[in-house]
Amino acid sequence: MTAGEGREVARGGHDLPEPTAELVAERTGMFGAHDTGDTSGYGGLVRTVTMPPAATRPYGSWFDEAVDVLAEVLDEQGVAFGDAVERVMITDPRRSAEGDGPSLDAELTLYVAREHLVRVCQVLRDDQDLRFELSLGVSGVHYPEDAGRELHAVYHLTSVTHARRLRLEVTCPDADPHVPTTTGVYPTNDWHERETWDFFGIVFDGHPGLARIEMPDDWPGHPQRKDYPLGGIPVEYKGATVPPPDTRRQYS
Amino acid sequence: MTAPAYDSPHAARSTRPPSEDYGPSVPGFEASGGDWDEIAREAIGEERIVVNMGPQHPSTHGVLRLMLEIDGEMVTEARCGIGYLHTGIEKNMEYRTWTQGTTFCTRMDYLAPLFQETAYCLGTERLLGITDDIPERASVIRVLMMELNRVASHLVCLGTGGNEMGATTVMTIGFTAREEILRLFEAITGLRMNHAYVRPGGVATDAPEGFTDQVRAALPKVRGYLGQLGDLMLANPIFKSRLTDVGVLNLAGCFALGITGPVLRSAGHPYDVRKAFPYSGYETYDFDVPTDTAADSYSRVVLRLEECYQSLKIVEQCLQRLDDTEGARVMVADKKIAWPAQLSVGADGQGNSLDHIRHIMGNSMEALIHHFKLVTEGFGVPAGQTWQTVEHPRGELGVHLVSDGGTRPYRAHFRDPSFNNLQAVSVLCEGGQVADVVVAVASLDPVLGGVDR
């Protein structure tokens, strides 16, 4: 049975905001120099860091079908799709301009509101047309310049049944770094959530034992955040001094 | 001393006589060290015996720490402690160019370095949108290296697994056979480990002349050693009784805990990333995915041996394709990404492309500038994120890469299968005997370099 068969599917009925490129940060200058020492002439350079915009219908491939099924099941449970999924994103660097539809490398990302995360996971896992039964863990990303959404938790789900992959992304502000745990739906996320807590300081509410996993228990700070220094010491080599990696010249 | 709690779930199966028989001085503990003191104090209060195994224990595959609560010979609770080998590789990768990243991720799972390299490079190529532009020869070399690496990794798993049960010959044969493969790695990458051989856009250098013949000469030896291993292990009554029905994890358990690789296939599901989500042209190779339904440690040994043979089958197909594509490119044509890849090895063992050096030093100032910028600054990768997985010897290895449009990864995360699979230790060990812990952990084949990264 193919996904979506026998269902009444309302296409394009979701209330999603207009797609705009997401401004993540703004960088100035080049080579990492921000004082008078910069004689490169690039000091006035301004580069905006943006993430690709949200996708528009039709998404192509199986993406429309899966999103529609998810919307329908959520609707049955009394949750509006627009409340649960903040945006739908297709990343596809190989997509041609002619509009031939997504390439084989296209990836679907759903930005889920944290209060609906567990419900979305449950639907994705249990619905026969979705069946994302295998979770491949949690990864964190820290965007310090993305005000109000500094911390992202990223979940990668695989449907072995339908040979599909999907990414869920949940954001939370640095001031309130709480995301509900998904261990009830995917027990495998246990250690992955501990790792994300350890490295990013995202608190997974309801986790059975949210302790540090890689760093020692009494370690201060969360090392993978962008404001946590890499550390390192200058190394002398053949008379010259090689500075530690995080103080070297940088281009981006 | 309180009376034994016969209504506790483990009491009925206990092999220990009621505690009154021992007198008031038993059980006794010798404990020292910070954490350990507390655990033991807590344990005495509840009349448990907690045994700390590792992190410096020869049967824990590195620095895995197991905390076992035992009742007689039975393990009632098993927990893992990890993190002793954490080196912050993911964090370090954020401070290096995309090309330099491959020298970092190769050091994660040190028994399967080429899988991390390939997964990382495939992810980078996907972000760049050049997946289709990778030369065929480069993909063939990647597949060849990965499959040889799979055999080498499984040989260590089987060898050390045997050694932990006292079968030293299994270990020596396993490592001797692995040596044959490491020699091949050395011939093509110059190194036995930490290769940094697979690069975004292709591979660092072409296979040297006569490499396919060298592989063809080594394959019968490897096959012979695999045969010896099979003869030593598979019908050996001691080996069988140690492994059969030990460390059982059924299909539902595997999916719940996200277990992939040989452990999942031993429970009967033929999920293999090479078949389900092919990469590097795996859909064009002829090979089988062996499965079993016993879901125990013994079936995992059988599967790993069988996978070695399947890998050798792929290697033979690769050799044919390498002969057919002799002299073709091994690096993407786009000069904004490609490092020089037709290297010759100098007297000091360092590789250089002499033609390239002649060109940038003698002919073209612009080429020199370009080379300098490519190597120091690196190439920019369009903003976005990607998820690439490969079939690692231990399961599904996932790479999550985020780019902000710059020349360095904004975030690189590796979903290592050993890290995930270690979560199953409790399920595999609890209710079994202490001696079975070693067998069950060995059947997961964790490599702590990958677990802790």
A240, pLDDT greater than 70? yes
Q: Does B444 lie at the interface with A, CB-CB under 8 angstroms? A: no
* pLDDT confidence of residue A64: 87
Please give the mean pLDDT across all residues of chain B: 85
3-state secondary structure of A43: coil
Beta-strand relationship, A203-205 and A178-180: parallel
Inter-chain CB proximity B423 and A191 less than 8 Å: yes
Average pLDDT of B292-309?
Answer: 92
**Which sign does the torsion angle of CA A92, A94, A98, A102 carry?**
negative
B208 vs chain A: nearest CA distance in angstroms?
A: 32
Position B356 confidence tier, pLDDT thresholds 50, 70, 90: confident
Average pLDDT of B152-171?
Answer: 90
Q: Which residues in A lie closer than 8 A to residue B419 (C-beta atoms)? A: 191, 195
Range with top average pLDDT, B144-153, B199-208, B443-452: B144-153
Average pLDDT of B371-382?
Answer: 88
**Gap between the Cα atoms of A136 and B116, Å rounded:** 16
Of B92, B380, B387, the CB nearest to A165: B387
Higher pLDDT, B325 or A93: B325
Per-residue CA distances from B254 to A148, B162, B177, B424 (Å): 37, 24, 31, 8
B38, pLDDT greater than 80? no
Share of chain A above pLDDT 90, in %: 33
Inter-chain CB proximity B385 and A91 less than 8 Å: yes
- Tell me the residue length of chain A: 252
Average pLDDT of A175-182?
Answer: 92
A80 vs chain B: nearest CA distance in angstroms?
A: 27
* pLDDT confidence of residue B307: 93
* pLDDT confidence of residue B23: 45
Position B41 confidence tier, pLDDT thresholds 50, 70, 90: low
For chain B, what is the radius of gyration of the CA atoms?
Answer: 25
Share of chain B above pLDDT 90, in %: 45
B253 vs chain A: nearest CA distance in angstroms?
A: 10
Residues 120-159 of B with CB under 8 A from A: 126-129, 131-132
**Gap between the Cα atoms of A33 and A43, Å rounded:** 8
Position B12 confidence tier, pLDDT thresholds 50, 70, 90: very low
Query: Considering only CA atoms, which of B252, B37, B56, B276 is closest in space to residue A165?
Result: B276
**Gap between the Cα atoms of A68 and A85, Å rounded:** 12
DSSP β-bridge partners for residue B413: B400
State the DSSP code for A248. Answer: S
* pLDDT confidence of residue A34: 61
* pLDDT confidence of residue A106: 85
Q: Which residues in B lie closer than 8 A to residue A94 (C-beta atoms)? A: 129, 131-132
Please give the mean pLDDT across all residues of chain A: 81
**Gap between the Cα atoms of B380 and B127, Å rounded:** 10
* pLDDT confidence of residue A35: 60
Give the mutation candidate from B415, B416, B418, B453 for the A interface (greatest A CB count, under 10 A): B415
Residues 6+ apart with CB under 8 A from A10: A68, A71, A72
Position B59 confidence tier, pLDDT thresholds 50, 70, 90: low
pLDDT (tens digit per residue) in B309-321: 999 999 999 999 9
Range with top average pLDDT, A13-27, B39-53, B430-444: B430-444
B288, pLDDT greater than 60? yes
* pLDDT confidence of residue B45: 56
* pLDDT confidence of residue B165: 85
State the DSSP code for B424. Answer: G
B28, pLDDT greater than 50? no
Least confident of B172-181, B327-336, B391-400: B327-336
3-state secondary structure of A216: coil
**Gap between the Cα atoms of A163 and B328, Å rounded:** 34
User: Tokens 């290895």 correspond to what residue?
Assistant: B397
**Gap between the Cα atoms of A123 and A106, Å rounded:** 22
* pLDDT confidence of residue B270: 92
B14, pLDDT greater than 90? no
**Gap between the Cα atoms of B148 and B150, Å rounded:** 5
Higher pLDDT, A15 or B403: B403
Average pLDDT of A126-154?
Answer: 89
Q: Which residues in B lie closer than 8 A to residue A163 (C-beta atoms)? A: 276-277
A168, pLDDT greater than 50? yes
- Tell me the residue length of chain B: 453
Inter-chain CB proximity B380 and A252 less than 8 Å: yes
Range with top average pLDDT, A202-206, B28-32, B360-364, B376-380: A202-206
Average pLDDT of A14-40?
Answer: 59
